[in-house]
Amino acid sequence: MNLQEAVNGIQPLDEKAMEQAREHWDSIAHPLHSLGKLEDMVVQIAGITGDPRVHTEKRVLVPMCADNGVVEEGVTQTGQEITALVAESFLQTKAASSIMCRTVNCDIFPVDVGVATEVSILNRKIAYGTKNMAKEPAMTREQAIQAVETGIEVACMMKEKGYQIMATGEMGIGNTTTSSAIASVLLDLPVEKMTGRGAGLSTEGFNRKIQVIKEAIALHKPDKEDPIDVLAKVGGFDIGGIAGLFLGGAACHMPVVIDGVISATGAVLAAALCPQAKDYMLASHVSKEPAGELILKALGKEAPLHCDMCLGEGTGALNLFPLLDTGLAVYHGMSDFGNFGMEAYQHLE
């Protein structure tokens, strides 16, 4: 499925399935909408899948892994070699997210879309990292489209494997720089507002990071009306891949969970390519990064978790699954009012 086919295939949510899910919630013996966002998520998933019998037991985390040439500018605390080390550790249950996956009964399926060296995860390498956006466009337009279409392909693959819900993650040293650049352009917000310290920068390093982003945007003049142009000039292969996961998931009627700032930037990119895709996204947590809340607001999303997390890899998205589990346990397991010998609550004006 190419990019245009995916965009054309994204349909409005199934209103009938959502209404049936709401009616079921209202029929079980609890005060109306007293489980708040847990109820809303179940109703949304019913609309996404077209089935009010909501199930999310078979779940997968897909971390998109890629390097970023902009690390040459000293915008990170660690070196590029960390990307490959962590990418390899996903399948060895050594990374934070893969350890969490075991805890929340989630499979993990890391993808190499542009790691600077060879790694043993699924190979969809577009190049050995992007170019340094401070000096030249990060990638060609063709590579940008390839990154998004790789995400679409992987999302469809996950659907074919029988997964019912997909969480998005990433690994790529320098990707808080590229995500800040993309988000700043697409949302038309100041770079200073969209940029944080990433994995830990000194004040001097932080100020340099802001300056590098501002100069790259001024140099390349990415067109905010052309999301692929923005990705190509100041983005990363991982963010393009994540955008594809959101688009492919939507086209395949699969709910896709937003992680932190980088994942949310991929969501903004996907929404810029197809606004309808937002309906298929579930927010998980508000990142500690400054842009976290701003990006979710731009997507029209409210995250249920506020944990001050900024680790990435999909760690925040994974923490949504226990919430979904408890909500669905009530949705499927609680009796209606009649079986409790109670009168049902009524919707009051």
Residue 50 vs residues 27, 84, 164: alpha-carbon distances, Å = 20, 39, 12
Asked if residue 277 lies in contact with residue 271, where contact means CB atoms within 8 angstroms, the answer is yes
In the numeric block, the tokens 């927010």 are attached to: 283
Residues 38 and 94: their CA atoms lie apart, in Å, by 31
Asked if residue 174 lies in contact with residue 207, where contact means CB atoms within 8 angstroms, the answer is no
For CA atoms 303, 307, 308, 314, the dihedral sign is negative
Q: Closest by alpha carbon to 254, among 332, 159, 348?
A: 159
Asked if residue 174 lies in contact with residue 70, where contact means CB atoms within 8 angstroms, the answer is yes
Q: Closest by alpha carbon to 132, among 186, 83, 178?
A: 178
In the numeric block, the tokens 């692929």 are attached to: 228
Is 313 designated active site?
yes
- 68-89: burial string, b at 16+ Cβ within 10 Å, e else: bbbbebebbeeebebbbebbbb
- The one catalytic residue in 118, 149, 313, 349 is 313
Asked if residue 269 lies in contact with residue 234, where contact means CB atoms within 8 angstroms, the answer is no
Residues known to be catalytic: 313
